[in-house]
Structure 1
Protein backbone atom coordinates (compact mmCIF):
# COMPACT_ATOMS: atom_id res chain seq x y z
CA UNK A 1 0.00 0.00 0.00
CA UNK A 2 1.34 3.40 -0.97
CA UNK A 3 2.13 5.73 1.89
CA UNK A 4 0.51 9.14 1.86
CA UNK A 5 1.51 12.13 3.97
CA UNK A 6 -0.47 12.41 7.22
CA UNK A 7 -3.43 14.75 7.46
CA UNK A 8 -2.77 18.05 9.24
CA UNK A 9 -3.48 17.74 12.99
CA UNK A 10 -6.01 20.59 12.82
CA UNK A 11 -8.21 18.47 10.58
CA UNK A 12 -8.93 16.05 13.45
CA UNK A 13 -9.99 18.98 15.64
CA UNK A 14 -12.43 20.04 12.97
CA UNK A 15 -13.69 16.47 12.52
CA UNK A 16 -14.40 16.14 16.25
CA UNK A 17 -16.66 19.20 16.03
CA UNK A 18 -18.92 17.60 13.42
CA UNK A 19 -22.03 16.02 14.91
CA UNK A 20 -21.75 12.21 14.95
CA UNK A 21 -25.39 11.99 13.84
CA UNK A 22 -24.59 13.87 10.63
CA UNK A 23 -21.55 11.68 9.94
CA UNK A 24 -23.54 8.54 10.68
CA UNK A 25 -26.25 9.54 8.19
CA UNK A 26 -23.68 9.97 5.42
CA UNK A 27 -21.77 6.82 6.33
CA UNK A 28 -24.87 4.64 6.35
CA UNK A 29 -25.98 6.18 3.05
CA UNK A 30 -22.68 4.94 1.60
CA UNK A 31 -23.22 1.48 3.09
CA UNK A 32 -26.77 1.41 1.69
CA UNK A 33 -25.46 2.35 -1.76
CA UNK A 34 -22.85 -0.41 -1.60
CA UNK A 35 -25.58 -2.84 -0.59
CA UNK A 36 -27.91 -1.68 -3.37
CA UNK A 37 -25.09 -2.23 -5.88
CA UNK A 38 -24.62 -5.71 -4.38
CA UNK A 39 -21.08 -4.96 -3.23
CA UNK A 40 -21.83 -5.48 0.44
CA UNK A 41 -24.42 -7.85 1.90
CA UNK A 42 -24.42 -8.16 5.69
CA UNK A 43 -24.63 -11.69 7.07
CA UNK A 44 -27.67 -12.46 9.26
CA UNK A 45 -25.45 -12.62 12.37
CA UNK A 46 -25.09 -8.82 12.22
CA UNK A 47 -28.81 -8.28 12.70
CA UNK A 48 -29.50 -6.05 15.70
CA UNK A 49 -25.81 -5.30 16.29
CA UNK A 50 -24.44 -1.78 16.78
CA UNK A 51 -21.10 -0.56 15.43
CA UNK A 52 -18.75 2.41 15.59
CA UNK A 53 -16.07 3.37 13.08
CA UNK A 54 -13.47 5.79 14.41
CA UNK A 55 -11.22 7.45 11.82
CA UNK A 56 -8.64 8.72 14.29
CA UNK A 57 -6.56 11.04 12.13
CA UNK A 58 -9.69 12.85 10.88
CA UNK A 59 -11.48 12.92 14.23
CA UNK A 60 -14.53 11.22 12.72
CA UNK A 61 -16.76 8.74 14.53
CA UNK A 62 -19.68 7.06 12.75
CA UNK A 63 -22.29 4.98 14.53
CA UNK A 64 -24.59 2.55 12.77
CA UNK A 65 -26.54 -0.64 13.27
CA UNK A 66 -27.63 -3.50 11.10
CA UNK A 67 -31.36 -4.13 11.25
CA UNK A 68 -33.28 -6.58 9.07
CA UNK A 69 -30.39 -6.77 6.60
CA UNK A 70 -30.14 -2.97 6.26
CA UNK A 71 -27.59 -0.50 7.60
CA UNK A 72 -29.13 2.29 9.68
CA UNK A 73 -27.73 5.26 11.58
CA UNK A 74 -27.48 4.68 15.32
CA UNK A 75 -27.99 7.47 17.83
CA UNK A 76 -27.08 5.59 21.05
CA UNK A 77 -23.86 5.64 23.01
CA UNK A 78 -23.02 1.96 23.47
CA UNK A 79 -21.93 -0.29 20.61
CA UNK A 80 -21.22 -3.98 20.27
CA UNK A 81 -18.07 -3.47 18.18
CA UNK A 82 -15.81 -0.49 17.51
CA UNK A 83 -13.12 -0.35 14.85
CA UNK A 84 -10.58 2.46 14.86
CA UNK A 85 -7.74 3.29 12.48
CA UNK A 86 -6.26 6.07 10.36
CA UNK A 87 -8.04 6.93 7.11
CA UNK A 88 -5.28 5.43 4.92
CA UNK A 89 -5.57 2.11 6.78
CA UNK A 90 -9.35 2.03 6.30
CA UNK A 91 -8.80 2.73 2.59
CA UNK A 92 -6.32 -0.17 2.47
CA UNK A 93 -8.94 -2.47 4.01
CA UNK A 94 -11.60 -1.18 1.64
CA UNK A 95 -9.44 -1.84 -1.41
CA UNK A 96 -8.27 -5.23 -0.14
CA UNK A 97 -4.61 -4.17 -0.14
CA UNK A 98 -4.13 -5.11 3.48
CA UNK A 99 -6.04 -7.40 5.80
CA UNK A 100 -7.39 -6.62 9.25
CA UNK A 101 -5.06 -9.11 10.96
CA UNK A 102 -1.98 -7.36 9.60
CA UNK A 103 -3.22 -3.94 10.71
CA UNK A 104 -4.25 -5.29 14.10
CA UNK A 105 -0.89 -6.91 14.82
CA UNK A 106 0.90 -3.76 13.63
CA UNK A 107 -1.30 -1.85 16.13
CA UNK A 108 -2.78 0.25 13.33
CA UNK A 109 -6.30 -1.17 13.78
CA UNK A 110 -8.03 -0.94 17.15
CA UNK A 111 -10.86 -3.35 17.88
CA UNK A 112 -12.96 -3.17 21.03
CA UNK A 113 -16.13 -4.82 22.16
CA UNK A 114 -17.45 -8.27 21.27
CA UNK A 115 -14.43 -10.23 20.00
CA UNK A 116 -16.56 -12.97 18.45
CA UNK A 117 -18.47 -10.32 16.49
CA UNK A 118 -15.16 -8.71 15.51
CA UNK A 119 -13.93 -12.02 14.09
CA UNK A 120 -17.19 -12.50 12.20
CA UNK A 121 -16.97 -8.99 10.68
CA UNK A 122 -13.29 -9.49 9.79
CA UNK A 123 -13.98 -12.78 8.00
CA UNK A 124 -17.01 -11.31 6.22
CA UNK A 125 -15.06 -8.28 4.96
CA UNK A 126 -12.06 -10.41 3.94
CA UNK A 127 -14.36 -12.66 1.87
CA UNK A 128 -16.22 -9.77 0.21
CA UNK A 129 -15.34 -9.24 -3.46
CA UNK A 130 -14.22 -5.66 -4.13
CA UNK A 131 -15.66 -3.77 -7.11
CA UNK A 132 -13.20 -3.25 -9.97
CA UNK A 133 -13.01 0.51 -9.43
CA UNK A 134 -11.63 -0.05 -5.92
CA UNK A 135 -9.00 -2.51 -7.10
CA UNK A 136 -7.73 -0.16 -9.80
CA UNK A 137 -7.75 3.08 -7.85
CA UNK A 138 -5.17 5.78 -8.65
CA UNK A 139 -3.75 5.40 -5.12
CA UNK A 140 -1.84 2.32 -6.35
Structure 2
Protein backbone atom coordinates (compact mmCIF):
# COMPACT_ATOMS: atom_id res chain seq x y z
CA UNK A 1 0.00 0.00 0.00
CA UNK A 2 2.81 2.42 0.80
CA UNK A 3 4.29 1.91 -2.67
CA UNK A 4 0.92 2.67 -4.26
CA UNK A 5 0.62 5.84 -2.19
CA UNK A 6 4.08 7.02 -3.20
CA UNK A 7 3.41 6.26 -6.85
CA UNK A 8 0.12 8.15 -6.85
CA UNK A 9 1.53 11.15 -5.01
CA UNK A 10 4.64 11.21 -7.17
CA UNK A 11 2.55 11.21 -10.35
CA UNK A 12 0.28 13.92 -8.95
CA UNK A 13 3.17 16.10 -7.83
CA UNK A 14 4.96 15.60 -11.13
CA UNK A 15 1.88 16.71 -13.05
CA UNK A 16 1.26 19.66 -10.73
CA UNK A 17 4.83 20.94 -10.71
CA UNK A 18 5.36 20.36 -14.41
CA UNK A 19 2.36 22.60 -14.99
CA UNK A 20 3.88 25.28 -12.79
CA UNK A 21 7.30 24.98 -14.41
CA UNK A 22 6.12 24.88 -18.02
CA UNK A 23 4.91 28.46 -17.95
CA UNK A 24 5.38 29.15 -21.64
CA UNK A 25 2.85 26.51 -22.60
CA UNK A 26 0.21 26.61 -19.88
CA UNK A 27 0.29 30.02 -18.24
CA UNK A 28 -1.58 33.15 -19.12
CA UNK A 29 0.59 36.27 -19.25
CA UNK A 30 -0.30 39.94 -19.14
CA UNK A 31 -0.56 40.01 -22.92
CA UNK A 32 -3.59 37.72 -22.72
CA UNK A 33 -4.87 39.05 -19.41
CA UNK A 34 -5.31 42.65 -20.60
CA UNK A 35 -7.62 41.42 -23.39
CA UNK A 36 -9.90 39.52 -21.00
CA UNK A 37 -13.17 41.06 -19.84
CA UNK A 38 -13.62 41.46 -16.09
CA UNK A 39 -15.94 38.45 -16.13
CA UNK A 40 -13.34 36.25 -17.84
CA UNK A 41 -10.65 37.47 -15.41
CA UNK A 42 -12.86 36.54 -12.45
CA UNK A 43 -13.70 33.15 -13.95
CA UNK A 44 -10.01 32.50 -14.64
CA UNK A 45 -9.14 33.20 -11.00
CA UNK A 46 -12.04 31.05 -9.78
CA UNK A 47 -10.77 28.19 -11.93
CA UNK A 48 -7.24 28.77 -10.66
CA UNK A 49 -8.47 28.53 -7.06
CA UNK A 50 -10.60 25.45 -7.81
CA UNK A 51 -7.55 23.74 -9.31
CA UNK A 52 -5.55 24.51 -6.18
CA UNK A 53 -8.36 23.27 -3.94
CA UNK A 54 -8.64 20.04 -5.92
CA UNK A 55 -4.87 19.54 -5.76
CA UNK A 56 -4.88 20.07 -2.00
CA UNK A 57 -7.89 17.76 -1.56
CA UNK A 58 -6.29 14.92 -3.54
CA UNK A 59 -3.03 15.19 -1.60
CA UNK A 60 -4.75 15.42 1.79
CA UNK A 61 -7.02 12.47 0.99
CA UNK A 62 -4.01 10.39 -0.07
CA UNK A 63 -2.21 11.31 3.14
CA UNK A 64 -5.24 10.48 5.31
CA UNK A 65 -5.81 7.17 3.50
CA UNK A 66 -2.19 6.21 4.02
CA UNK A 67 -2.36 7.15 7.72
CA UNK A 68 -5.37 4.84 8.15
CA UNK A 69 -3.42 1.96 6.64
CA UNK A 70 0.01 2.73 8.04
CA UNK A 71 -0.11 4.09 11.60
CA UNK A 72 3.56 5.15 11.56
CA UNK A 73 3.26 7.00 8.25
CA UNK A 74 5.55 10.00 7.93
CA UNK A 75 4.70 12.50 5.25
CA UNK A 76 7.50 12.71 2.67
CA UNK A 77 9.18 16.09 2.39
CA UNK A 78 8.20 16.56 -1.24
CA UNK A 79 4.51 16.26 -0.33
CA UNK A 80 4.91 18.75 2.51
CA UNK A 81 6.71 21.18 0.18
CA UNK A 82 4.01 20.78 -2.47
CA UNK A 83 1.26 21.53 0.05
CA UNK A 84 3.14 24.66 1.12
CA UNK A 85 3.46 25.75 -2.53
CA UNK A 86 -0.27 25.27 -3.04
CA UNK A 87 -0.94 27.30 0.10
CA UNK A 88 1.13 30.21 -1.24
CA UNK A 89 -1.11 30.48 -4.28
CA UNK A 90 -4.39 30.36 -2.33
CA UNK A 91 -4.92 34.11 -2.28
CA UNK A 92 -8.64 33.95 -1.42
CA UNK A 93 -7.80 33.76 2.29
CA UNK A 94 -6.36 37.29 2.16
CA UNK A 95 -7.79 38.94 -0.95
CA UNK A 96 -11.27 38.84 -2.54
CA UNK A 97 -11.51 38.02 -6.25
CA UNK A 98 -12.48 41.53 -7.38
CA UNK A 99 -9.54 43.03 -5.53
CA UNK A 100 -7.16 40.44 -7.00
CA UNK A 101 -8.40 41.30 -10.51
CA UNK A 102 -7.74 45.02 -9.85
CA UNK A 103 -4.28 44.33 -8.45
CA UNK A 104 -3.32 42.10 -11.38
CA UNK A 105 -4.58 44.80 -13.76
CA UNK A 106 -2.36 47.35 -11.99
CA UNK A 107 0.73 45.18 -12.35
CA UNK A 108 0.03 44.53 -16.02
CA UNK A 109 -0.53 48.25 -16.62
CA UNK A 110 3.28 48.46 -16.50
CA UNK A 111 4.55 47.24 -19.87
CA UNK A 112 7.61 45.57 -18.31
CA UNK A 113 5.30 43.07 -16.63
CA UNK A 114 3.25 41.94 -19.64
CA UNK A 115 5.31 38.79 -20.26
CA UNK A 116 5.12 37.61 -16.64
CA UNK A 117 2.66 34.78 -16.02
CA UNK A 118 -0.41 35.36 -13.88
CA UNK A 119 0.69 32.83 -11.25
CA UNK A 120 3.90 34.80 -10.61
CA UNK A 121 1.92 38.04 -10.39
CA UNK A 122 -0.43 36.38 -7.89
CA UNK A 123 2.55 35.36 -5.70
CA UNK A 124 3.81 38.93 -5.79
CA UNK A 125 0.41 40.31 -4.78
CA UNK A 126 0.07 37.76 -1.97
CA UNK A 127 3.47 38.74 -0.57
CA UNK A 128 2.55 42.43 -0.71
CA UNK A 129 -0.78 41.73 1.06
CA UNK A 130 1.11 39.78 3.73
CA UNK A 131 3.28 42.85 4.40
CA UNK A 132 6.35 41.81 2.42
CA UNK A 133 6.70 44.52 -0.27
CA UNK A 134 10.41 43.84 -0.80
CA UNK A 135 9.75 40.17 -1.47
CA UNK A 136 6.84 41.08 -3.75
CA UNK A 137 9.07 43.39 -5.79
CA UNK A 138 11.83 40.78 -5.89
CA UNK A 139 9.42 38.19 -7.33
CA UNK A 140 8.57 40.50 -10.23
CA UNK A 141 12.19 41.54 -10.78
CA UNK A 142 13.35 37.91 -10.87
CA UNK A 143 10.55 37.06 -13.29
CA UNK A 144 11.65 39.91 -15.58
CA UNK A 145 15.27 38.73 -15.37
CA UNK A 146 14.35 35.17 -16.29
CA UNK A 147 12.37 36.43 -19.28
CA UNK A 148 15.39 38.42 -20.49
CA UNK A 149 17.60 35.32 -20.15
CA UNK A 150 15.12 33.29 -22.22
CA UNK A 151 15.34 35.75 -25.12
Structure 2 length normalisation: TM-score? 0.29
The structure that has the greater radius of gyration is: 2
Structure number with the bigger relative contact order (C-alpha 8 A, sep ≥ 6) is: 2
- Whose strand fraction is larger, Structure 1's or Structure 2's? 1
- Whose helix fraction is larger, Structure 1's or Structure 2's? 2
